[in-house]
Amino acid sequence: MNIAIVLAAGSGTRMGQQKQFIMVNEKPLFVYSLEAFDFHPLIHKILLVVPSNDVDRVSSFLKEYPLRKMVGVIAGGNSRQESTFLALKYLKEKNVKDDDIVLIHDAARPLVSQKIIEDNIYLTQKYGAVETACKAVDTLVISKNNQTVDHTLNRDEIYQSQTPQSFLFNLIYQAHNLRQGESFTDDAGLVKSMGNEVYIVEGDKYNFKITTPTDLDIFEAIINKR
């Protein structure tokens, strides 16, 4: 079984409100991500994680959309890491199998492609742990005090991380369980800290994260051209 965990529990309000709930063409941003996973034939279930005070509102709101694979809307925690672990524990209670695959995705990446989803599933079956990433195309520099410190970084070895990040269920559950109390920026880093290899799924530029008003403008321009 392949299960998508969509994380929309962040509290960032740089755009005047929680970005995942911004309406675009009369549809909340997070619904675009849900639809991408709901449409893919290899995805069997979807679990949405939202802020605790939004669970009832979102659950009611989702009735307006024909999402066939939703299995729940649950409350997230105080961090992305905590929200993910709460989702994994919820699935554990639903008797998810150790070798089932979970794809963990940011709701703020609404343009995740069907190919990226499919590649995550196939490569997780092969390797057990993968993360979506794009190879850096620009020259990268390290700066300190607004001055260049290092201008020799090798672009061929540097990637920009995206989501989904996907894992065999037991691998990611045990990693979260054993690393409670420690802080990691993402699930791939957490799994890597356990001594596991994490392989790369090729992402794309459209799978960008909406964090600023400019990002939102780009997203609206893209979907209005489709």
pLDDT digits (tens, 9 = 90+) for 44-88: 999 999 998 999 989 988 989 989 999 999 999 999 999 999 999
Are 100 and 71 in contact by the 8 Å Cβ rule? The answer is: no
What percent of the chain is modeled with pLDDT above 70?
A: 95
Asked whether the predicted pLDDT for residue 137 surpasses 70, the reply is yes
Read off the pLDDT band of 93 (50, 70, 90).
very high
Domain spans of the chain, in order of start:
2-225
Summarize the chain as % helix, strand, coil (round to 5).
40, 25, 35
- Phi, then psi, of 104 in degrees rounded to 5: -100, 120
The Cα–Cα gap between 188 and 200 comes to 10
The Cα–Cα gap between 200 and 151 comes to 25
Report if pTM > 0.75. Answer: yes
Could you check whether the bond before residue 51 is cis, i.e. omega within 30 degrees of 0?
no
Partners of 148 in the beta sheet?
143
The Cα–Cα gap between 59 and 52 comes to 12
- 219's enclosing H/E stretch is helix 213-225
Asked whether the predicted pLDDT for residue 97 surpasses 70, the reply is yes
CATH topology (fold) of 2-225: Spore Coat Polysaccharide Biosynthesis Protein SpsA; Chain A (3.90.550)
The Cα–Cα gap between 201 and 133 comes to 6
Using one digit for the tens of pLDDT, what is the confidence trace for 157-182? 888 999 999 999 999 999 999 988 88
Are 105 and 112 in contact by the 8 Å Cβ rule? The answer is: yes
User: Which whole-number Å values give the CA distances from 123 to 2, 55, 120, in the listed order?
Assistant: 12, 33, 5
The Cα–Cα gap between 8 and 21 comes to 9
